[in-house]
Amino acid sequence: MNDTPFAAIHEAEVTWKADTPVSVLHDDPYFSLAGGTEETRHVFLSGNDLQRRFSALHSGDCFTVAETGFGTGLNFLETLALFDQCAPAGARLHFLSTELQPLSLSDLKRAHRAWPEHGARCHQLQAQWPAATPGWHTLWFGRDRVTLTLLYGDTTDQLRLLDGRVDAWFLDGFSPSRNDSMWQPELYQQMARLSHAHTTAATYSAAGHVRRGLAGAGFRVSKQPGYAGKRHMTVATGVAAAGEAAIHPRRHVVIAGAGLAGVTAAAALAARGHSVTLADPSGVATQGSGNLAGIVYSTPSAHMTDQNRFYQASYLHALGWMRRYGFPAEPSQGRLNGLVQLPGSERHRDKALAALAAGFWPDGLMNAVEDGPPGSYLLPQAGYINPQRWCHHLLSLYRIPVVKTAMTGYRETPDGVLVDLQDQTSPLHADALIIASAHDAARQARLDVPLKKIRGQVTLVHATAASAVIDQALCHSGYWTPAIDGFHCVGASFNLHDLSPQARAEDDQANLSELRRNAGHLWQAMGGDDMQLAGSRVGFRCQSPDFLPLAGALSSRVYCNVAHGSRGISGTPLCADLIAASICGETQIADRRLRDALAPGRFRRRKERQGKSRTGNKPEPKTP
């Protein structure tokens, strides 16, 4: 195990025996030299009885497989093929897999040549292959049908932070004799914690300590004939004391607020088969989410605090959503063709240089700009989009209704939530409620958190012949976007103690002066002193005291998703998926530490800890 569960990681070093990669570190092939696909089918698919279990699923069911050691992805590809063949329409598969040293993309592609029958599936995996940065990465196949979550880091470290229920385990990874650090008692204890009475597990290994470890964790263990000359393999069935498998009933959820936070939450639920009603008196993405263009980006750091991990993870998750949903598809929706960041100060320069050297932002995620000022860098996958069109795109895909009214209150009942909507005589019944109404959430959700209301003014400038051909966004102490509908966005002011909704000429001048100082070529391309202003727009960012969103449960049926600040485009898809998974009782796609950092109750817990510290009272020790 690592000193931290999110230390920098490195790509695997391999040699080759024909088409089979061999780990240099462990001196062990990634799959059987006698036939990888046949071994997978014999050990993991048959060993977990997946053909029968997939066929027995119902529409709305979500089956969860967890694996130790993703490697080439062969086990996933075979499982995906079987699921597509056997599972009914409307059933879903969530496949989670740990990996400490992911293959490089070139090695992954070379390994995949051996399985032409998986050609299309291999291409989908390669197109989404994450860079070697620690944390959890989510990939989608068939858009809503199959989710793959890759847990990059030490296996036991990552499983310790996983919450949910696993239906089948693929206990893979390199041989216990060559990778004994993985095959330890805590691995089996974590497997038991995440299992239920009908969970199964299978592994090619028949080593005595593996069987004893599984049995000691509460599994019922037996041996079966192994594959290709191996006398035995090990299979196991569930932990009786763990209870039954989770049930995923269809639900109806009401969401108050139809900005980025509300719309992405609606899409995440609809993707899981649930019905959603959005309520917003202003309509879709008309408040803080209503600017003509917004930046899809992150701020790289050399320090993987929970805050910085969220910035990175949510940015990568948002890019995954946009690939998944084919957005932006045309210039009027935006472009994800890279974003250049220029240092706005010495502090920003030093932070960028440290991030480039730290190993958490490898090539492909962040690259130095050699001909720019020191600390300049390119985020190759970043860019800009029209937020309102993004929201409408998601709503149209799932045909999600939007009621143009305000939520005036709610009451929890034993079987749901009664939501009061303005101008409706009777409350709307829902199984759950998500409050995504930005500044109004403090009142509606009865939050005891002082949410900040930060004024921002964006300046719109008519494109010229020279500026219209520049198609890459740029950030400095502000930002500039290529033209959408003939206008550039230049922003944005940052006024904490100013609540005026009126646009001001001096704010436009400040935006343009910052652009001229940091990126004079863009200022000049728009016409310099002769540029034509097209207007201004004032919006109000909603921000928490610690700069992270409030995303999670307020009670067993009420959730909030607010305070995304200036990072709503990048932050909302991950928060949406976390809340949707919680409502549905599914295995989570983000680690517990990250979810705790976003939990709405974190400020109350901090106050309680501070109060105990001041009075000298110490909390009682936790029961082992």
- Please tell me whether the peptide bond between 328 and the residue prior to it is cis, using omega within 30 degrees of 0: yes
pLDDT (0 to 100) of residue 323: 96
pLDDT average, residue stretch 345-371: 94
Which position has the higher pLDDT, 32 or 428? 428
The pair of structure tokens assigned to 499 is 């609540």
Report residue 620's pLDDT band, with 50, 70 and 90 as the boundaries. very low
List, in sequence order, every residue forming a beta bridge with 78; answer none if it has no partner: none
The pair of structure tokens assigned to 448 is 């005891």
Report residue 565's pLDDT band, with 50, 70 and 90 as the boundaries. very high
pLDDT average, residue stretch 139-149: 94
Task: Say how many residues make up the chain.
Answer: 624
Position 181 pLDDT exceeds 80: no
* Ranges of H-type helices in 150-224: 155-160, 185-193, 208-216
The answer to whether position 341 is within a domain reads: no
The answer to whether position 21 is within a domain reads: yes
pLDDT average, residue stretch 279-297: 94
Report residue 248's pLDDT band, with 50, 70 and 90 as the boundaries. low
DSSP-derived letter for residue 136 is: E
Q: In what order do the strands lie in the sheet with 146-152?
A: 135-141, 146-152, 92-99, 62-68, 166-170, 195-203, 232-237, 220-225
pLDDT average, residue stretch 603-619: 69
pLDDT (0 to 100) of residue 405: 95
* 8 A C-beta contact, residue 267 and residue 399: no
The answer to whether position 1 is within a domain reads: no
pLDDT (0 to 100) of residue 240: 66
CA distances from 321 to 73, 487, 516, 591 (A): 21, 26, 34, 19
The answer to whether position 365 is within a domain reads: no
User: What CATH number is attached to the domain comprising 150?
Assistant: 3.40.50.150
pLDDT average, residue stretch 486-491: 96
Average pLDDT, the chain: 92
**Dist. CA 282–CA 258, nearest whole Å:** 8
Position 498 pLDDT exceeds 60: yes
Amino acid identity, position 266? A
List, in sequence order, every residue forming a beta bridge with 66; answer none if it has no partner: 96, 169
- Percent of the chain residues past pLDDT 70, beyond the cut: 95
Q: Report how far apart the first and last C-alpha atoms of the chain are (Å, whole number).
A: 21
**Dist. CA 75–CA 85, nearest whole Å:** 15
The answer to whether position 452 is within a domain reads: no
Position 241 pLDDT exceeds 80: no
The answer to whether position 525 is within a domain reads: no
Q: Lowest mean pLDDT: which of 174-178, 244-248, 512-516?
A: 244-248
The answer to whether position 49 is within a domain reads: yes
pLDDT average, residue stretch 275-302: 94
Model confidence pLDDT, tens digit, residues 422-457 = 988 899 999 999 999 988 887 887 787 889 999 999
**Dist. CA 287–CA 259, nearest whole Å:** 7
**Dist. CA 142–CA 353, nearest whole Å:** 39
- Cβ–Cβ contacts within 10 Å for residue 120, how many? 9
For 54, residues 6+ apart whose C-beta sits below 8 A from its C-beta are 63, 82, 83, 86, 87, 91
* 8 A C-beta contact, residue 192 and residue 219: yes
Amino acid identity, position 600? P
Q: Domain range for residue 26?
A: 14-242
Among 176-180, 292-296, 602-606, the range of highest mean pLDDT: 292-296
* 8 A C-beta contact, residue 267 and residue 400: yes
What is the count of structural domains for the chain? 1
**Dist. CA 88–CA 27, nearest whole Å:** 41
Listed residue (267, 358, 276) closest to 317, CA to CA: 267
The answer to whether position 197 is within a domain reads: yes
Position 544 pLDDT exceeds 50: yes
Report residue 621's pLDDT band, with 50, 70 and 90 as the boundaries. very low
